[in-house]
Chains A and B, each alone.
Chain A
Amino acid sequence: MKRFILLLLALSLLTAGVLSWFASSHPDGLERVAEDKGFIEKVKNPSYEILPDYTVPGVFNKFQSNGLAGIIGTVTTFFIVNILGKFLARRKKHRGSDVPLSY
């Protein structure tokens, strides 16, 4: 199980850190429709920016900036959801209920 998690985490880091360099910079489906149908100008700039558009401010090399933002995001996402999952599972254990696993 541990190996499975590490392998998938490594694949995620590789995807966000390296494969993202090759991402198409064309507009996505919604942006494309917004451009074609003339409502793209309604976009408002966000009120604050942390890692805007998957870049790290101050890192000027596009690939490094993109890859670094991707790695930060992947690690952050892993830890947040992992902790959230542990919290949710602990609540169940705490109640001591024996709910059968079914969806």
Chain B
Amino acid sequence: MHIPSGFLEPQVWGSMTVISMAGTGLALKKSGELIEENKAPVMGVMAAFIFAAQMVNFPVLGGTSGHLLGSALAVAVLGMWPAMVVMTSVVIIQSLLFQDGGIEALGANIFNMSIISCLISGLIIDNCRKYNEKIFYFSVAFAAWLSVVVASILCALELSLSGTSPLKIVLPAMIVIHTVIGAFEGFITISALRFIAVAAVDKRYFFQMYNGGRS
């Protein structure tokens, strides 16, 4: 869902850049207040994993592919604010180093795939940590699906505001395909989370996932 160069008008990508810079600034500030030094490698490795997983496109309906977004996974492991830092970093690296997503569309891509998708995932997942494991996993799966669908809606809105495609054409098309891709997102997110839970040899660390980093 990385918007390439040429799809957005300057007014649209300009405003998105301003909003995303403010959002990223807030995420950096909040993360600085929240994380302890030993969380830095966990943030690093989650970013690396999400970057890697985003390279693996899986086939969906008729000649289309999708790949993991990863914001719900990042929120589940790190909590909302550090997850936003991680997702924004991944989107920036993809754009600058791999030309995946246009430079001027960076603000819009950060807004869709990091700020809003982490915000939605955070509101859902971080509010479900106080219950049991089953509710936690269910909230993660739902957040994973919803974050992809909402990101696709935002993408469609930005395209139509830029006059690239009329809303009544681009919006339904984006929603339909990303409803399916979102289902894969839920499945991959839960699988990865299960792996991480098993891999976390220090079980105390995994427990922290349920209560949002409080040990």
Contact of A43 with B44 at beta-carbon distance under 8 Å, contacts A33-B173, A92-B33 already known: no
Nearest residue (CB) in A for B40 is A85
Q: How far is the CB of A12 from chain B (nearest CB, A)?
A: 4
Contact B7 A42 (CB under 8 A): yes
B53 CB contact (under 8 Å) in A1, A15, A49? A15
B6 CB contact (under 8 Å) in A8, A15, A44, A82? A44
Contact of A33 with B177 at beta-carbon distance under 8 Å, contacts A101-B214, A102-B214 already known: yes
Q: What is A's interface to B at a CB cutoff of 8 Å?
A: 1, 3-5, 7-9, 11-13, 15-16, 19-20, 22-30, 32-34, 36-37, 39, 42-47, 49-54, 66, 69-70, 73-86, 88-93, 97, 99-103
Nearest residue (CB) in A for B96 is A50
| Given A81-B86, A83-B44, 18 further pairs, Cβ under 8 A | A4-B202, A8-B46, A12-B48, A12-B49, A13-B52, A29-B177, A29-B181, A44-B102, A52-B98, A76-B97, A77-B44, A77-B47, A77-B90, A85-B35, A89-B32, A89-B39, A100-B214, A103-B213
Contact A54 B100 (CB under 8 A): yes
Q: How far is the CB of B191 from chain A (nearest CB, A)?
A: 12
Residue B22 interfacial (CB < 8 Å): no
Interface string of B72-84 (1 = CB under 8 A from A): 0000000111100
Contact A44 B63 (CB under 8 A): no
B164 CB contact (under 8 Å) in A1, A26, A39, A51? A39
Contact A82 B173 (CB under 8 A): no
Of the A-B pairs whose beta carbons lie under 8 Å apart in the complex, a sample of 23, sorted by A's number, is A4-B202, A12-B51, A23-B58, A24-B57, A25-B57, A28-B57, A30-B2, A33-B165, A37-B169, A42-B164, A50-B96, A50-B97, A51-B98, A52-B99, A73-B97, A74-B51, A77-B44, A78-B45, A80-B89, A82-B45, A84-B85, A85-B42, A103-B213
Contact B205 A1 (CB under 8 A): yes
Which residues from A are CB-within-8-Å of B6? 42-44
Contact B35 A92 (CB under 8 A): yes
A76 CB contact (under 8 Å) in B33, B93, B181? B93
Which residues from A are CB-within-8-Å of B213? 101, 103
Contact of A82 with B41 at beta-carbon distance under 8 Å, contacts A23-B55, A23-B57 already known: yes
Contact of A29 with B66 at beta-carbon distance under 8 Å, contacts A74-B52, A81-B47, A88-B28 already known: yes
Nearest residue (CB) in B for A23 is B57
Q: How far is the CB of A13 from chain B (nearest CB, A)?
A: 7
Which residues from B are CB-within-8-Å of A54? 55, 98, 100
Contact A44 B4 (CB under 8 A): yes
CA distance A44 to B100 in the complex (A): 12
Q: How far is the CB of B189 from chain A (nearest CB, A)?
A: 14
CA distance A77 to B87 in the complex (A): 11
Contact B81 A20 (CB under 8 A): no
Residue B120 interfacial (CB < 8 Å): no
